[in-house]
């Protein structure tokens, strides 16, 4: 009231300090160009004079202007959301994949939406159709086992939604796939056990409904054959990728006469089940039994003896998947070079055979 100067328009003195968010119109006015030109700068269109571009970019930066993703999405008929659908029971697996995806999304205007899914549910496909139609995702990342679901993939194609699948074998065109080459990792486990001198080696594989179960088993068998050994079918048990199934299958294999001197399991959870089964029989690892797991989960380096395991680069695969959807090149992308491959992490659960 008694102010000497009239308040500056747009930032009236004494009003609430929260100023209205800037829109594309404000920037256009400030830069003295049309909103369409501002739009071109935002979307990095090459059809804009370099001097104009710089002027507009400077004003955008100065004012901390951020285009509204909802308005852009509405006009684009596509959201700025990347979806991560998962049904892997391992928390660590999910978090690692998520971490990799988020690393690739950093600095972009994309956000990550997560959805646990249940392929067994009768409403699965319908629910997926609803959410994909509604959200118009900029892209979808699929990890096993939902990445193996052809109904979902057909749906994404039909709805014209970009996707990248991570799986243990090539199920799709290479650009839409990241192959984890589980077979290579399983073969490394076989060589490791053979090198330690084992010849009577058991295997606990995952459930038949998972592709990785087959791929890991076949890779393991191939690795044994490579070393002049064979995978005795009577020494193979089908587990469920759970601790409990590891205990049960472990008990079965360890009750055999003569019993295997080493066991390779399809994942770490089942390896720990074997630890438990061995303990119950008074068998000491690795003195009486060698064990190799798969996943190299954090638990592998928390138990005793430390578990030798095959590590899959989950974080990296997540990062590569999201980079593809962004249209950004990732140096580790197998499309640009050698394949992403698993690695055997040797610890304390393998020794020479006792008998």
**Residues near DNA, by CB under 7 A:** 21, 23-25, 33-40, 42-43, 46-49, 52-53, 65, 67-68, 71-72, 74-77
What six digits make up the tokens of 165?
A: 């699948």
Residue 116 within binding range of a second copy, rule CB under 8 A: yes
Contact present, 241 and 283 (Cβ < 8 Å): no
Residue 326 within binding range of a second copy, rule CB under 8 A: no
Length of the chain: 355
Out of a second copy, DNA, none, what residue 303 binds, judged by CB under 5 to 8 A for its kind, is a second copy
The window from 96-104, 233-241, 326-334, 340-348 that contacts a second copy (CB under 8 A) reads: 96-104
Contacts of 192 (CB under 8 A, 6+ apart): 292, 308, 344, 346, 350
Interface with a second copy in residues 238-267 (CB under 8 A): 243
- Chain-centre distance of CA 36, in angstroms? 38
Of the candidates 115, 119, 200, 281, which one interacts with a second copy according to CB under 8 A? 115
The Cα 342–Cα 313 span in angstroms is 7
What character string, x for contact with a second copy (CB under 8 A) and - otherwise, covers 20-49?
-x----------------------------
Out of DNA, a second copy, none, what residue 248 binds, judged by CB under 5 to 8 A for its kind, is none
Residue 66 within binding range of a second copy, rule CB under 8 A: yes
Of the candidates 113, 176, 236, 345, which one interacts with a second copy according to CB under 8 A? 113
| Terminal C-alpha separation, the chain | 97
What character string, x for contact with a second copy (CB under 8 A) and - otherwise, covers 301-320?
xxxx----------------
Q: Measuring CA to CA, how many Å separate 91 from each of 284, 337, 344?
A: 29, 30, 21
The HSE-up count of residue 126 (CA atoms within 13 Å, CB side) is 3
Out of a second copy, DNA, none, what residue 46 binds, judged by CB under 5 to 8 A for its kind, is DNA
Residue 62 within binding range of a second copy, rule CB under 8 A: no
The residue among 74 and 230 lying less far from DNA, judged by its C-beta, is 74
Contact present, 292 and 193 (Cβ < 8 Å): yes
Residue 287 within binding range of a second copy, rule CB under 8 A: no
Q: Measuring CA to CA, how many Å separate 251 from each of 192, 200, 292?
A: 23, 16, 16
The Cα 159–Cα 177 span in angstroms is 18
Other beta carbons within 10 Å of 159: 14
Residues in touch with a second copy (CB under 8 A): 18, 21, 66, 68-71, 73-74, 79, 81, 91-92, 94-96, 98-99, 102, 109, 111-116, 130-131, 133-136, 158-159, 243, 269, 272, 275-276, 279, 298-299, 301-304
């Amino acid at each position: 009231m008694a102010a000497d100067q009239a308040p500056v328009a747009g930032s009236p003195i004494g009003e609430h300090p929260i100023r209205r968010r800037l829109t594309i119109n404000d920037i256009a006015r400030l830069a003295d160009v049309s909103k369409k030109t501002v739009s071109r700068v935002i979307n990095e269109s090459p059809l804009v004079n370099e001097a104009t571009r710089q002027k507009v970019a400077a004003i955008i930066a100065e004012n901390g202007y951020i285009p509204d993703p909802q308005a852009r999405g509405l006009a684009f008929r596509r959201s700025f959301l990347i979806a991560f659908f998962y049904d892997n029971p391992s928390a660590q697996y999910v978090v690692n994949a998520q971490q990799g995806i988020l690393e690739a999304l950093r600095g972009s205007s994309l956000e990550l939406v997560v959805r646990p899914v249940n392929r067994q549910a009768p409403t699965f496909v319908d629910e997926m159709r609803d959410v994909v139609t509604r959200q118009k995702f900029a892209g979808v990342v699929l990890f096993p086992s939902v990445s193996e679901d052809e109904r979902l993939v057909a749906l994404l194609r039909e709805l014209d939604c970009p996707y990248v699948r991570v799986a243990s074998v090539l199920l799709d065109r290479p650009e839409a796939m990241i192959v984890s080459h589980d077979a290579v990792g399983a073969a490394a486990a076989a060589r490791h056990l053979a090198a330690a001198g084992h010849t009577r080696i058991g295997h606990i594989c995952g459930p038949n409904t998972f592709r990785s179960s087959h791929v890991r088993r076949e890779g393991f068998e191939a690795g044994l054959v490579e070393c002049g050994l064979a995978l005795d079918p009577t020494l193979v048990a089908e587990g469920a990728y759970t601790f409990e199934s590891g205990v049960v299958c472990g008990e079965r294999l360890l009750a055999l006469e003569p019993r295997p001197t080493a066991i390779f399991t399809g994942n770490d959870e089942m390896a720990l089940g074997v630890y438990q089964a061995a303990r119950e029989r008074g068998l000491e690892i690795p003195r009486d039994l060698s064990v190799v797991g798969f996943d190299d989960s954090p638990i592998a380096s928390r138990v005793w003896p430390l578990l030798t395991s095959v590590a899959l680069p989950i974080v990296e695969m997540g990062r590569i998947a999201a980079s593809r959807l962004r249209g950004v090149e990732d140096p580790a992308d197998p499309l640009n070079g050698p394949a992403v491959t698993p690695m055997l992490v040797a610890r304390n659960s393998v020794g020479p055979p006792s008998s």
